[in-house]
Amino acid sequence: MGALVGAALVAAEARAQRVAFINPGKVDEFYWSGVSRCMQSAAQSLGQTLEVHYAEREHLRVFQIARAIVARPPGLRPEYVVITNDYGTGPELLNIFEGSDIRVFMAYSKPTVEELARTGTPRRKHRLWIGSLEPRAQDAGYLTARALIAQARAAQAQGPDGKLHLLVIAGDRSTPSSIARNEGMRQAVREAGDVVIDQEVYAAWSREKAAEQAEVLYQRHPHARLVWAGNDLMAFGAMSALERRGGVPGRTVFFSGINTSAEALQAKESGRLAALAGGHFITGAWSLVMIYDHYLGHDFVREGLMQERPMFALFDAKLAQALRARLGPGCDHVDFKRFSKTHNPGLRGYDFSMERLLKDAPRSTERHADERALP
């Protein structure tokens, strides 16, 4: 019987799973290009064929890409498509893929409560929407804000009123992960008790826009010495605006960021960033593991069709060095079959934590010239 099962598995794997990923970011954007590289590594490890389409941060282009995929002859369509709900595009994408026989997996951000009232949960109204996986985004906001406040408090960065004054540069108003990061940040502020949010703005994840907004914020709120940013790029934009005014990041003003680009890791190690959280870039690769198992008959329904998992870690110098040493650019040292239920029948549940990922990845013996490629 074991030989028959093994033969069936080999035969199924020989018919490579075809997966498309509609990437909402830009092809030259460190975070989203890093997401795609890790997904390509996972696909190669799992024997999948992955095609990636970039929407270049234009949400209408997401729909154009989806319609083009559906318009292909049936034999040329992927069997699965991975989408995100950035800028609230998820519900319309589900409508576009309805009736196409393409299974849909939503990664990074699921529909909001209001949107779910229209879409329903997976496998109901949209029968081929098989599930979703998102990192617990509140963790990123909470961890970075708490660490930022602690460092500023230790540096006695209070204003004349004895309070720590905080500026918030958030991503956007509609993406669920952006909303959740902000909620985590506010939770840390409430718990602190000595922090005042002077102003909150939205920079659309852009370094350039954050720099423009920060110029105005610094003039308007001269006692603010803490800047919480929804990603690393916006933090760097606000830093550059401070430096143009003669300020020193990590000394006159304290910054936090989210993501694990090489620039962000270096900024944390040097002290320019007071706090940094990351690890969620791997969500797309984990989604491919779940798709792989689903395709081969190991459904994840018992673990939940809409999964929210802790993936963020608060980075210090030691963890930053471990990330560089073990993952390499684009997760190219990870054997993703280690995390598959198909290849590990005794695996009771998925563990998608950063700790598990770094533990199971072998240490790289190579030095990579393009360290900027880290997601």
**pLDDT-derived band at 373, boundaries 50, 70, 90:** very low
Full DSSP string of 184-213: HHHHHHHHHSSEEEEEEEE-TT-HHHHHHH
Residues 160 and 263 occupy one common structural domain: yes
Residues 274 and 142 occupy one common structural domain: yes
pTM value?
0.82
- Domain assignment present for residue 346? The answer is yes
Q: What is the per-residue pLDDT across 237-249, written as a single tens digit (0 to 9) for each? A: 999 999 999 999 9
Residues 234 and 337 occupy one common structural domain: no
Full DSSP string of 298-320: ---GGG-SEEEE---EE--HHHH
Inform me whether the pLDDT recorded for 65 exceeds 90.
yes
**pLDDT-derived band at 13, boundaries 50, 70, 90:** low
Q: Which residues have CB under 8 Å from 245's CB, separation 6+?
A: 218
d(CA 49, CA 107): 18
**pLDDT-derived band at 329, boundaries 50, 70, 90:** low
Domain containing 69 equals 2-135+281-313+328-373
Inform me whether the pLDDT recorded for 331 exceeds 50.
yes
**pLDDT-derived band at 370, boundaries 50, 70, 90:** very low
Residues 274 and 293 occupy one common structural domain: no
DSSP state of 372: G
Inform me whether the pLDDT recorded for 8 exceeds 80.
no
Q: What is the per-residue pLDDT across 156-207, written as a single tens digit (0 to 9) for each? A: 999 999 999 999 999 999 888 899 999 999 999 999 999 999 999 999 999 9
Give me the residue label for tokens 């282009």: 61
pLDDT, the chain, mean = 90
> CATH number, domain at 217?
3.40.50.2300
The total domain count for the chain is: 2
Q: What is the per-residue pLDDT across 252-294, written as a single tens digit (0 to 9) for each? A: 999 999 998 889 988 998 999 999 999 899 999 999 999 999 9
- Domain assignment present for residue 323? The answer is no
Residues 161 and 128 occupy one common structural domain: no
